[in-house]
Each structure stands twice: as structure tokens, then as C-alpha cells.
Amino acid sequence: MELSKAISLSLGDVEEPVITRYRLGLILHQLYSGKAYLGEKLDGLQKDHATHIEFDFRLHELEYSGILKAHPNFKSTTFRLLGRKGENAEEVVSSIDPFCYLSHLSAMSYHGLTNRLPVKMFVSSPAPKDWNAQAEARMRKDLGECYESYCENGMPRLTRPKLTKIGRTEIHCFNSIHWGAYTNVRGRVLRVSSIGRTFLDMLRNPELCGGMHHVLEIYQSYAVTYLPLIVDEIDRNGAPIDKVRAGYLLNERLGIQNDTVESWVQFAQRGGSRKLDASGEYLPVWSAKWCLSLNLD
């Protein structure tokens, strides 16, 4: 089998709606190192490692034949695949940034917690330093002992995309040290923050979740339904201020009696300036139990 045919067939195996330079480089590397596609030997392949020159040649060949087409929002790094229909912006984001996931108002909408349709797509991704560390770890896992030679030959690396817009969909990318707690959506190339993390994110960044009044509405409507997931996530991963805010909403505002929630009162700090709405102005209206400014206008 010719290498060009093996590359085309390999692209047909790709589940994502788009392919990045790194993913294409990985396919080329695997064909070179294995010298076969699904057990069928590749003709005339002598070298064990592809170079950036070979990569550029094959990419040009694929673009010329129409199999790949540069994505208009990521022209130098991402390509559309021939025959893929109905590009979904959420799946494109999940394809080009392997560490991001839908979050905040977009996650609320996905989980059916809000009837508001997000004007923007909200996604979370690790802070730059953490993202780069994750990318190197992923490449080492993908390439194994060939990692060093792959890089030395100038093959494409896993790089962070600039997420601002896909088609008409604007993207708000939230970078935080509080990364994680997402689920993979079955049957789709899509990741979304878990129910528990979504409720925690509402407290941390209500301005990205429709505002604190809307967050309060969601807690009033769904907190009892998802209480075990909410309490477990906040107890495990919430900062002291997150537990105080959640404690006020669940215990004092909604009247929920729960031993774990009650234990969070230990994190209340008298004489401080903590606010219920992290994004709002301070107001001199207090919860005496939770030592929290109830700054809802």
C-alpha cells in the first residue's frame, strides 16, 4: 500500500470533525514507525521517523487533493476533513484543545439547569503553565520512547489554540488553577463540567453563569435534586470561601439540613469582608452564622 493511501485511510478513522497539525503528525509518525496500515505493509518506506519536510509535503498533498481544508478560524493549525457534515462548534473546541471542557453557563445549559441560551460558548482550560505541562505529558504518552526523535525531527507539537471564535460562535475561555471535574459525553467528541463542578463554578464566577440572582434561582430549583453531587464536589474541591457561600445558600437560604454542609461553618471568618456574590460590590447586610455579606441588590 502506498503511504498517501494509508494516510487518507487513517484520516477516515478520525472521529473528530477537524484534525490538528499535531494529530496529523502523530498519524504520519505511527505509519513510519509501524511501516504498515492495519497489517498491510507500506511500499518503499525505509526510514523509521518522519521529518518536518515529509510532513509539509504530505500536508500540501492532502490540501491539494481536497481531503483537508484549512479551518477559517485556525488556518495554520487545524483542518476540516472531507465529507464531515454539520460542524459543531462545541466539538471543534474539544477536538483542538484536548484539555478544555464546556463550563459555566454553557455547562448549565447542557445539563438542563437553565433556560437561558448562552450567547457565547463558555469553556474552561488549564492556566498556560499547567496546559503546557499537560501537553508535554500527553505527547510523551502518545509517542513513548520516540518522543525525543519526533521533536528533533521538527514534527508538529501539541500547542495551545487561541480560542476566540468558531464560525459565528464567540468563545469565552476561562483559565484557572481549578481545572478538572469534567465528564466525556458518550457518542460525541465533547467534554462538559460535571454537575457538582458546575454548581461550584456558579459560586466562584456567577458573572459567567447569568449573574448571582440567576445562580440563586438554579440553587432553589435544583439543589435538592443534586445535593449529594454538589456537597461532595464542594467538600472535596471547594476553597473555604466556596464552602461558606454554599453553606449559606444550602443551609440558611434553602433550609437544607446536612451534616457535611453544617461542618462548613468552621470556615466562616468574623470581621472579614467576604461576599456572597464574588463579582458584586460589598453591602453591609450580613449572615451572622456564615459571616458573609449578602450583596444581592
Q: What is the per-residue pLDDT across 100-128, written as a single tens digit (0 to 9) for each? A: 999 999 999 999 999 988 889 999 999 99
Kindly indicate the confidence band of residue 284, based on its pLDDT and cuts at 50, 70 and 90: confident
Are residues 172 and 28 part of one domain?
A: yes
Among 162, 192, 222, give the residue marking a domain's end.
192
Q: Does 177 map to a domain?
A: yes
Are residues 278 and 166 part of one domain?
A: no
Rounded alpha-carbon distances, angstroms, from residue 190 to 90, 102, 277: 7, 8, 30
Are residues 224 and 178 part of one domain?
A: no
Q: Give me the mean pLDDT over the 59-67 stretch.
A: 95
pLDDT at 180 over 70: no
CA distance 125 to 240: 23
Q: CA angle, 59 as apex, 58 and 62 as ends, to 5°? A: 85
Question: For 86-100, 142-156, 253-267, which range has the lowest pLDDT when averaged over its residues?
Answer: 86-100
Are residues 268 and 157 part of one domain?
A: no
Among 192, 223, 253, give the residue marking a domain's end.
192
What pTM, to 2 d.p., does this model score?
0.89
Are residues 179 and 228 part of one domain?
A: no
The pLDDT, as a whole number, for residue 179 is 67
The pLDDT, as a whole number, for residue 297 is 65
pLDDT at 270 over 90: no
The pLDDT, as a whole number, for residue 37 is 85
- The HSE-up count of residue 165 (CA atoms within 13 Å, CB side) is 6
Are residues 218 and 129 part of one domain?
A: no
Range of the domain at 97: 3-192
Q: What is the mean pLDDT of the chain?
A: 92
The pLDDT, as a whole number, for residue 76 is 85
Are residues 79 and 222 part of one domain?
A: no
The pLDDT, as a whole number, for residue 223 is 97
Are residues 165 and 226 part of one domain?
A: no
Per-residue exposure over 62-78, b if at least 16 CB sit within 10 Å of its own CB, e if not = beeeebbeebebbeebb
Are residues 257 and 184 part of one domain?
A: no
Are residues 139 and 18 part of one domain?
A: yes
Is 26 strand, coil or helix? helix
CA distance 92 to 189: 8
Q: How many domains does the chain have?
A: 2
CA distance 43 to 270: 75
Among 158, 192, 226, give the residue marking a domain's end.
192
Are residues 136 and 259 part of one domain?
A: no
CB 188 within 8 A of CB 103: no
Q: Give me the mean pLDDT over the 44-60 stretch.
A: 91
Could you count the other beta carbons within 10 Å of the beta carbon of residue 25?
24
The pLDDT, as a whole number, for residue 279 is 81
With a pLDDT cut of 90, the percent of the chain lying above it is 73
Could you count the other beta carbons within 10 Å of the beta carbon of residue 213?
11
With a pLDDT cut of 70, the percent of the chain lying above it is 98
Question: For 24-38, 117-131, 168-182, which range has the lowest pLDDT when averaged over its residues?
Answer: 168-182
Kindly indicate the confidence band of residue 44, based on its pLDDT and cuts at 50, 70 and 90: confident
Q: Does 203 map to a domain?
A: no
Are residues 266 and 133 part of one domain?
A: no
Q: Does 225 map to a domain?
A: yes
